């Protein structure tokens, strides 16, 4: 090949009839295809979000199953009828299709009817509250009457303590609480039975020789129903040996003190009355002497008594009798009978001559006491003055 020869040009590739792409365009087209087919990076949840999602689904599923179970269970239970009362209890296989009939109830054709005194509560028969209250009140009334009767018997030994049950049963019919129940005989009988059941737990019972049941209040319970007078009587009777001497001693001491006080009062009152009698007699005698016969020198003793004594003291004859004894012993008073307005009276008269009046005697005594006290004060003052002026004469 010579140098001057013209180089041959590489022929251009012709497009393929099938419209194929060149080798340069293949990579770009594949990358764009991948970007279209691949999802974005945040399309799938993270691991924490996935765990939360699983937990929520699990809780929702469990709640749904639980609700379905309880709903199905309750519907099945409610839908079950009650087994007839005539069904034998040993046939447990029947309880899968029906509910057992509860106690205190009667079941027939799948329906429950509670006995008298009971009411339906769900699938049970419970006692009626009003009937229970009535039975309790009736039992308290019976207990009160029986215990009061036994308490009376324990106190004085009289009364009836054992009461036949039939009498109590009949007494319940006349109680006012039974009137509020109504005329339903079955309810009344149930209340009575409930009442007798309650008192049977508290009171004593026995069967008499005739085969009838009798009821009595226990002695321990009857002690609470005894009146206060009964407790006092029993206390005194049990401790009579100790109480009687103590009471006798107290009564004796009281009487002795009362007599001593009466004597003291009587002695004081007699002296007071005697002094008043002397003053009245002396004053009357002096007035009679000065009046030159216008006033009598004597005084009727009975009138003087009524003048000095109160109506209550006049009943005490010993009081004025002691005054008369003192007057009789007094030489200054003369006692002699005298007709006053045609009636015999005992008069007292004061002897004026040669006697000092009690008032003057008291004045002289007071003057003597005052003079003696003044003299003692003067002597003591003189001695004090001498002690001050002559200190050298004191000898210790």
Residue 237 corresponds to which tokens in the numbers above? 């009777």
* Percent of the chain at pLDDT exceeding 90: 19
- Answer for the pair 221, 147: CB distance below 8 angstroms, yes or no: yes
Please give the C-alpha separations between residue 156 and each of 37, 152, 221, 229, in angstroms, as whole numbers: 117, 6, 17, 11
SS3 category, 300: strand
Query: Residue 200's pLDDT band (boundaries 50, 70, 90)?
Result: confident
Query: Does the pLDDT value for residue 252 go beyond 90?
Result: yes
Overall size of the chain counted in residues: 396
Q: Is 102 left (phi over 0), alpha (psi -120 to 50) or beta?
A: beta
Instruction: Decide which of 22 and 231 is more confident.
Output: 231
Q: Which of 99-103, 236-240, 307-311 is most confident?
A: 307-311
Question: Rounded mean pLDDT of the chain?
Answer: 75
What angle in degrees, to the nearest 10, is found between the helix axes of 240-290 and 301-308? Answer: 120
**Which of 40-44, 216-220, 301-305 has the weakest average pLDDT?**
40-44
Q: In whole angstroms, give the CA distance from residue 319 to residue 224.
A: 56
Report the pLDDT value the prediction gives residue 276, as an integer from 0 to 100.
93
Q: In whole angstroms, give the CA distance from residue 204 to residue 246.
A: 41
Query: Does the pLDDT value for residue 7 go beyond 60?
Result: no
Q: In whole angstroms, give the CA distance from residue 220 to residue 207.
A: 21
Report the pLDDT value the prediction gives residue 248, as an integer from 0 to 100.
92
Report the pLDDT value the prediction gives residue 1, as an integer from 0 to 100.
39
Closest to 301 (Cα-Cα) out of 342, 325, 272, 335? 335
Domain 244-359 CATH (choose: 2.60.40, 1.10.10, 3.30.1490, 1.10.287)? 1.10.10
User: CATH 1.10.10 spans which residues of the chain?
Assistant: 244-359
SS3 category, 226: coil
pLDDT 10s digits, 345-359: 999 999 866 555 544
Tell if the pTM clears 0.75, that is, is over it. no
Residue 376: is it exposed, middle or buried by C-beta count within 10 angstroms (0-12/13-18/19+)?
exposed
Please give the C-alpha separations between residue 239 and each of 231, 233, 242, 244, 383, in angstroms, as whole numbers: 12, 10, 6, 8, 74
Query: Does the pLDDT value for residue 262 go beyond 60?
Result: yes
Closest to 194 (Cα-Cα) out of 163, 221, 169, 222? 169
The residue-averaged pLDDT of 284-308 equals 82
Closest to 143 (Cα-Cα) out of 187, 195, 178? 195
Closest to 199 (Cα-Cα) out of 217, 222, 180, 220? 217
pLDDT 10s digits, 47-100: 777 788 888 888 989 898 888 777 666 555 555 777 877 765 545 555 567 778
Provide the strand spans (E) within 72-198: 105-108, 111-114, 118-121, 124-127, 163-164
Q: In whole angstroms, give the CA distance from residue 237 to residue 245.
A: 14
């Amino acid at each position: 090949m010579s140098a001057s020869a013209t180089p041959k040009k590489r022929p251009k590739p012709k497009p393929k009839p099938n419209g194929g792409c060149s080798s340069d365009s293949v990579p770009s087209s594949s990358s764009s295809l991948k970007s279209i087919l691949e999802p974005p990076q945040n399309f799938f949840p993270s691991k924490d979000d996935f765990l939360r999602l699983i937990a929520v689904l699990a809780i929702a599923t469990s709640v749904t199953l639980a609700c379905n179970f309880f709903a199905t269970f309750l519907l099945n239970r409610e839908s079950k009828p009650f087994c007839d009362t005539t069904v034998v209890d040993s046939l447990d296989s029947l309880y899968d299709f029906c509910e057992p009939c509860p106690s205190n109830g009667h079941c027939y054709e799948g329906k429950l009817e509670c006995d008298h005194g009971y009411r339906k509560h769900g699938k049970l028969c419970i006692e009626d509250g009003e009937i229970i209250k009535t039975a309790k009140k009736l039992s308290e009334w019976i207990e009160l009457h029986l215990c009061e009767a036994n308490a009376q018997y324990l106190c004085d030994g009289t009364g009836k303590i054992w009461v036949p049950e039939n009498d109590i049963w009949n007494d319940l019919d006349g109680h006012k609480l039974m009137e509020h129940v109504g005329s339903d005989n079955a309810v009344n009988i149930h209340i009575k039975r409930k009442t007798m059941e309650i008192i049977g737990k508290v009171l004593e019972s026995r069967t008499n020789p005739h085969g009838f049941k009798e009821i009595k209040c226990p002695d321990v319970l009857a002690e609470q129903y005894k009146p206060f007078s009964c407790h006092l009587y029993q206390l005194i009777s049990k401790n009579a040996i100790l109480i009687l001497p103590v009471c006798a001693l107290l009564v004796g001491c009281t009487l002795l003190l009362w007599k001593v006080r009466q004597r003291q009062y009587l002695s004081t009152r007699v002296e007071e009355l005697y002094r008043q009698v002397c003053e009245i007699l002396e004053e009357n005698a002096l007035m009679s002497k000065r009046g030159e016969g216008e006033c009598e020198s004597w005084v009727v003793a009975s009138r003087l008594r009524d003048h000095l004594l109160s109506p209550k003291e006049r009943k005490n004859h010993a009081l004025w009798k002691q005054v008369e004894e003192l007057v009789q012993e007094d030489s200054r008073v003369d006692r002699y009978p005298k007709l006053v307005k045609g009636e015999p009276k005992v008069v007292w008269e004061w002897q004026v001559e040669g006697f000092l009046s009690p008032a003057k005697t008291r004045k002289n005594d007071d003057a003597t006491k005052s003079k003696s006290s003044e003299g003692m004060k003067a002597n003591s003052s003189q001695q004090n003055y001498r002690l001050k002026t002559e200190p050298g004469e004191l000898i210790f």
